[in-house]
Amino acid sequence: MTGIVISGTGLYTPPHSISNEELVTSFNNYVERYNSEHAVAIANGAIEALQPSSVEFIVKASGIQARYVVEKEGVLNPDIMAPRIPERANDEISVLAEMAVAAAQEAMRQAHKTAADIDAVIVACSNSQRPYPAIAIEVQNALGIEGFGFDMNVACSSATFGMQAAADMISAGHARAILIVNPEICSGHLNFRNRNCHFIFGDVATAIVLEKKETCTVADAFEIIGTKLQTKFSNNIRNNFGFLNNAAPEGIGQPDKLFMQEGLKVFKEVVPMVSDMITSHLQSLDVPGKNLRRLWLHQANIHMNELIGKRVLGREPQEGEAPVILNEYANTSSAGSIIAFHKYHQDMKSGDLGIICSFGAGYSAGSVVLRKV
């Protein structure tokens, strides 16, 4: 028992949804155009023809049916195939902070907390908009929160790593309550011209309020009974966008400055890593896997979640035990498991156990075991 509770969560869903059909039509238009423009080079074997994408493949391989995005036209335009989000002046709120604030306001309302009750803001996400000033400090300013804020990035595991950091800081007396926000504009760093991954990600923001059990005034709270984090270096998910790009101009605009992965290797390596981590974490807390009422898992691939659920519970997960949101939202990086928690915990009874678990680039994985207060 940590004595720390989740007292509120929030979700901001962008206004535009892209179906697999829309995405595949746009991608296949691009492929046809590319192949006809390069017909001679393809015919003489100098370059390979691009292959079309397919809705059936996407649904079968991943479970994804649609994704929300901040901007849709640019993504679907075969000449652009990237969102077009105009820059804002420095005296306007940034797009990422705006999404974070919307999710944070819902989480604070749910937790019955005002800005005066919160002492720190952590922005924990994969796809930050800029290096500095920290987005967290901008969010803190927009919400009128005193204290401190900082950004952190552990890719898809950012939210669970943020929760452990926040719980530790509250326990140590550095803050009474902490707001963690996970704004993800994954579409900004997704290569929509890459058939292997163009369908994977979506945009969203989630927020979580953590505080001590004694200060919590809501009935619908969950106590953190333990957290566990794990990292293991892998190049199988990588993005080389960064501070040194300007020092190597020949690399600017190359595909490695966007999201890249060896999807099948990730699948095969991460499923056992995460299943073992959850199992050993539960053992250390004396919680048998079969006692878990709910698994709010990272939302990357439906088959990964089925396998992890089966290994942890020791049987096939029943309907609703491991809620799926990736069909509607796709992979939203750090936010996925938090969306699942936000949408699917209201029916749980006092004493019920559940686990939030994230996994992704690094590799990184985090598990947070919860008991309904």
**Among all residues, which ones are annotated catalytic?**
156
First to last CA, the chain: 12
Residue 368, H or E segment:
strand 364-372
**Amino acid at the residue 278:** I
Query: Which residue, 1 or 252, is less far from ligand CO8 as judged by CB?
Result: 252
Question: Do residues 298 and 334 lie in contact, with contact meaning Cβ atoms separated by under 8 Å?
Answer: no
Question: Do residues 120 and 178 lie in contact, with contact meaning Cβ atoms separated by under 8 Å?
Answer: yes
Tokens of 325: 């949101």
Query: Which residue, 127 or 337, is less far from ligand CO8 as judged by CB?
Result: 127
Question: Do residues 145 and 179 lie in contact, with contact meaning Cβ atoms separated by under 8 Å?
Answer: yes
What does the alpha-carbon distance between residue 67 and residue 180 come to, in Å, rounded to a whole number? 23
- Residue 221's DSSP bridge partners are none
Select the residue whose beta carbon is closest to ligand CO8 and give its number: 360
Query: Which residue, 148 or 241, is less far from ligand CO8 as judged by CB?
Result: 241
> Least distance in Å: CB of 238 to ligand CO8?
9
> Least distance in Å: CB of 255 to ligand CO8?
12
> Least distance in Å: CB of 31 to ligand CO8?
10
Find where tokens 């999201």 sit.
259
What does the alpha-carbon distance between residue 241 and residue 256 come to, in Å, rounded to a whole number? 7
Question: Do residues 125 and 334 lie in contact, with contact meaning Cβ atoms separated by under 8 Å?
Answer: yes
Query: Which residue, 81 or 361, is less far from ligand CO8 as judged by CB?
Result: 361
What does the alpha-carbon distance between residue 52 and residue 34 come to, in Å, rounded to a whole number? 11
> Least distance in Å: CB of 63 to ligand CO8?
9
> Least distance in Å: CB of 124 to ligand CO8?
12
Tokens of 122: 């952590």
For the beta carbon of residue 10, count every other beta carbon within 10 angstroms.
25
Give residues in contact with ligand CO8 (CB under 6 A).
Answer: 53-54, 57-58, 61-62, 126-127, 155-156, 186, 189-190, 195-196, 199, 201, 237, 259, 261, 263-264, 266-267, 300-301, 331, 333, 360-361
Query: Which residue, 7 or 65, is less far from ligand CO8 as judged by CB?
Result: 65
